[in-house]
A and B are shown apart, each in its own frame.
Chain A
Amino acid sequence: MSAIRLCGVGKTYAQYARPSDRLLEVIIGRKRHREFVALQPLDLTLNRGEVLGLVGMNGAGKSTLLKLIAGTILPSSGQVEKHGRISALLELGAGFHPEMTGRENVYLSGAVQGLTTEQIDGLYAGIVEFSGLADFMAQPVKTYSSGMFVRLAFAVATCVQPDILIVDEALSVGDGAFALKSFKRIMDFKDAGSTILFCSHSLYQVEAICSRAIWVHRGGIVLDGASSAVTAAYGQYLESGLLPGETPPLAAQAPAVVAMDSQPAESIAIHAPQGQARIAAIEVRGGGRVDKELELESGKDDLTVWVQFASDPALPDPSLAVTLVRADSSIVASASSHNDGFSVGRAVDGRGEVELTFDKLPLLKGDYWVTVFLGCERAMHVYDHAEMVARVRVIQQGLAQGVVALPHTWQTVSDRSAGG
């Protein structure tokens, strides 16, 4: 059963020289505008309980598509079918009256969502508790920071489980602890069968949360499929500028150069604030040395990454991930404690140390950088990360080409034919 069905839905914005031209056009019925195609006619069906991620560059048409589904703008062509109650977080502060207090805005947003005063009365305490803004509910929201805005907006929009939830980048504004709480709520809705549309520039979040993703490019859908495949293709596009099916010109294949000086040093935070976790220290070892620049022999030396972190003891055990990236930011290899089913232990004060070893590093000659991520227990939300903390120069004997030496065997085919 479909929750959302778009048939030939497109959006063309009209640009008028003067606002009055728009009114004249409506009254007279004669065209007085120039057109800008924001979304080409497209078909899209989303089944109940499906979680769809949207990726794409700024201005690609993602927000327009979400607004069409939410119903805040009307399509220029085609039909939008929706089944169920929709909650949408389309823009920071949207739907709030700046002069009204937080409390009044809760009732205002609730009323706009179709809730009665009595229903909002019953939900109010939960909304305040979730937003963590109990001390600020009597203040006008014009005095709120952007983070406070998004806390309250998200808490109200999700106070009742919607049939369809639309989240457009809004969560990127909130702090880490609140983002984690929000993701948990989204996952709860997902588990309970809500249909979710999630737009984010964080490809990792899209892949972690969504089962399916679409890549919107210049007002059209260029790829629709499993979120892992779509985010991988889009990630490739961000690196190479190539759309699916395109091949690179030879001159464009040279890697970009990243200066070591611009990379952040490891963090030295000792305690993590409430609801958060921080990387405290990182050491990268190999070839008998601990340094930010190592030289290792391919297939012989081990590479070890030691990470010390601090986390709020009230949080579940975090997860860690290490990636090896090349100068052009392409990921060559990664290891994640969550993916490997490894439980990261901690002391009672929330501090912990973890060591990861890549045995007999099978990378081939070249420069690689180590990046470390500290995430939540489901490896969905990133609390902290340290990019390119060490450079590993791999040297090799022999002429093998590529980035990795895959385990392999050779055999002479004639021996097998002779035996048969």
Chain B
Amino acid sequence: MPIVRRLASLGRNFIDGVATPFRLMWEQRGLLRLLIRREMVGRTSGTSLGSAWMLVQPALQMLGMWFFLVIVLQVRSPGRVPFVNYFLVGMVAWTMLSEILQRNLTVLVEFGTLYQRTIFPLPLLPLLPLLVSGAIYGTVLVVVAGVMEGPVAAAGAALGILLLLIWLVPISYGLAVLGLFVKEARQVVPFALTMLMYVTPILYMPEQLPSALRTWSALNPLADIVALLHAIVQGEPWSLGNLVRPLIIWLVLTPAAWMLFKRTEPHMREAL
């Protein structure tokens, strides 16, 4: 019976972990709109280009990386997709993912004054980086894919970003808790993300990896995510493993992260 009860609890937490973020986004849409707008304005306030910087800045970042890899290092594609196209799609998605995860490490501290002495829907806060970065980099990726591959690829990019954002929800909740209670996480996670970027086929194509290392890349779920994104946007080959591995991780992480967030929520105001 305890096993049945535990499974039932896991099931409840899974449903809550999936449904609550969507329910909150709808119920608190007014509050969310204000917070997102403030994020957007805060990023570019006082600059002459204003909100245009939100698209120009990542575009310049991509341009710099492209110059370094394609012009300076002269990296060439072994497949049918030009390297620059491959690189841009992967890099935009990775920048978004990295920004969301790093921001979630500090989001509960950053908004402490908003909720420490008030009644505030705390589970809304980890969704903020997801929505802000998703809107910015999602737009960039759709434009990049549309220009490079056409409208079907642009639609694929939008779908890919949406699925990636949903996949990142439990990780965002987990990192938000970790960032609040374990200060070391704010030092370790950025380093871990940099290392993950190097072992994920973003700055190079999977075919360029030595064959001995290709087996190991199966242990990196982000390699699967990047492979799926390239498949949706650029028609690159993918395997069932690319889909199953991230799906299993998501199914496991969703109830675990939600349970962790709900258990620690009563302690968050006191932990600040």
Contact = CB atoms under 8 A, between A and B. Distances in A.
Interface string B254-267: 00000010011011
A283 B180 CA distance: 62
B119 A72 contact: yes
B80 interface: no
Given A72-B119, A90-B118, A111-B28, A96 B269 contact: no
26 contacts: A19-B271, A20-B182, A20-B184, A22-B181, A22-B267, A22-B270, A23-B182, A26-B260, A27-B263, A70-B119, A72-B269, A73-B270, A86-B119, A88-B118, A95-B114, A95-B117, A96-B114, A97-B38, A97-B113, A98-B113, A99-B38, A100-B38, A107-B30, A111-B28, A112-B118, A112-B120
Contacts of A104: 34, 38
Interface string A87-113: 010110111111110001001100110
A316 interface: no
B42 interface: yes
Contacts of A237: none
Contact of A72 (B30, B118, B260, B271): B118
Interface in B94-117: 111, 113-117
B118 A95 contact: yes
B63 interface: no
Interface residues of B, number: 32
A81 to B, nearest CB: 16
A225 interface: no
A22 B117 contact: no
B76 interface: no
B270 A13 contact: yes
A26 B38 CA distance: 33
A67 B31 CA distance: 23
A90 B267 CA distance: 19
Interface in A14-61: 14, 19-20, 22-23, 26-27
Contacts of B267: 22, 26
B263 A26 contact: yes
Contacts, number: 86
Contact of A19 (B31, B182, B269): B182
Given A23-B264, A70-B119, A94 B34 contact: no
B119 A93 contact: no
A96 B117 CA distance: 10
A95 B121 CA distance: 12
Contacts of B180: 19
Given A23-B182, A111-B28, 13 more contacts: A22-B264, A26-B263, A26-B264, A27-B263, A72-B118, A74-B266, A94-B117, A94-B118, A95-B113, A95-B114, A97-B114, A99-B42, A111-B30
Contacts of B266: 74
A172 interface: no
A117 interface: yes
Contacts of A13: 270
Contact of A107 (B34, B118, B182, B271): B34
Contacts of B35: 108
A74 B270 CA distance: 10
Interface string A277-298: 0000000000000000000000
A51 to B, nearest CB: 22
Interface in B1-46: 28, 30-31, 33-35, 38, 42
A196 B181 CA distance: 36
Contacts of A71: 119
Interface string B125-158: 0000000000000000000000000000000000
Contacts of A23: 177-178, 181-182, 264
B214 interface: no
A14 B267 CA distance: 10
Contacts of B115: 95
Interface string B150-177: 0000000000000000000000000001
Interface in B34-72: 34-35, 38, 42
Q: Nearest 6 CB-CB pairs, A to B?
A: A94-B117, A23-B181, A111-B31, A95-B118, A91-B117, A20-B182
A266 to B, nearest CB: 41
Given A104-B38, A111-B28, A19 B117 contact: no
B271 A90 contact: no
B203 to A, nearest CB: 34
A22 B264 CA distance: 9
Contacts of A91: 117
A274 interface: no
Contacts of A99: 38, 42
Interface in B233-272: 260, 263-264, 266-267, 269-271
A112 B182 contact: no
Nearest to B33: A117
A145 to B, nearest CB: 17
B117 A108 contact: no
Contact of B117 (A14, A90, A98): A90
B24 to A, nearest CB: 13
Contact of B34 (A67, A72, A108): A108
Interface string B204-244: 00000000000000000000000000000000000000000
A76 to B, nearest CB: 10
Nearest to A110: B30
